[in-house]
Amino acid sequence: MASSEENKQQEEQTADTIENVQNAETEQENVQKDGECENEASVKIAELEKQLEAEKDKLLRTAAEYANFRSRTEREKAAIYANAVSDTVSELLPIADSVDRAVKASENAPEDFKKGLEMISNQLAKSFEKLNITSFGEVGEEFDPSLHNAISSIDSDELESDTIALVYQKGYKVGDKIIRHCMVQTVN
């Protein structure tokens, strides 16, 4: 009987050993699978990070394009406004010139007539000011070909060279946009 008990113990020990070996093999397989899973997870994380960076870049580019579009649209609106004002005022400039000439020529006119002309001239000046329209071209200013149109020139000892001696017609601009160049006589 002792041998059957010994056999039984040996069988149990063998079964325990086999079970321990199987558990060790299973554990080793799990560790290998975990390592493979970790590698797969690392690869997936890297891919997802690349996708995230691509989406961030795409979003930043879209935001930059929108900002550029918005600023370009604002500039275009301002240019359209300046062009509309310029076109409208260019039609009124001959009237303003006529009123200025009438004010200068009204020296011998009745006082009420002079006052009426001055009121009209002041109203035009205020309207131009509201529209951000400025006149330029005064006697003694330095001649600037981008602003002034020289019709004639004279020699003068009183004024410096390249200055305006006489203004035939005032120039006007809205902001930096020239509506009409000033017609002048310059000093050689």
One-letter identity of residue 30: N
What's the full length of the chain, in residues? 188
Question: What is the architecture of the domain spanning 134-188?
Answer: Roll (2.30)
Nearest to 136 by CA among 97, 160, 169, 94: 169
pLDDT at position 81 is 85
Q: Would you list the domain boundaries of the chain?
A: 134-188
Sheet-wide strand order for 148-154: 148-154, 182-187, 164-169
pLDDT at position 77 is 92
One-letter identity of residue 123: Q
One-letter identity of residue 170: K
Helices (H), the chain: 2-105, 111-130
Average pLDDT, 10 consecutive residues per value, the chain (188 residues): 68 76 74 71 89 94 96 92 88 93 90 93 94 91 92 88 92 90 93
pLDDT at position 2 is 55
pLDDT at position 67 is 96
Q: What pTM, to 2 d.p., does this model score? A: 0.59
**For residue range 119-145, what is the model confidence (pLDDT) as tens digits?**
999 999 999 999 989 999 999 899 999
pLDDT at position 31 is 66
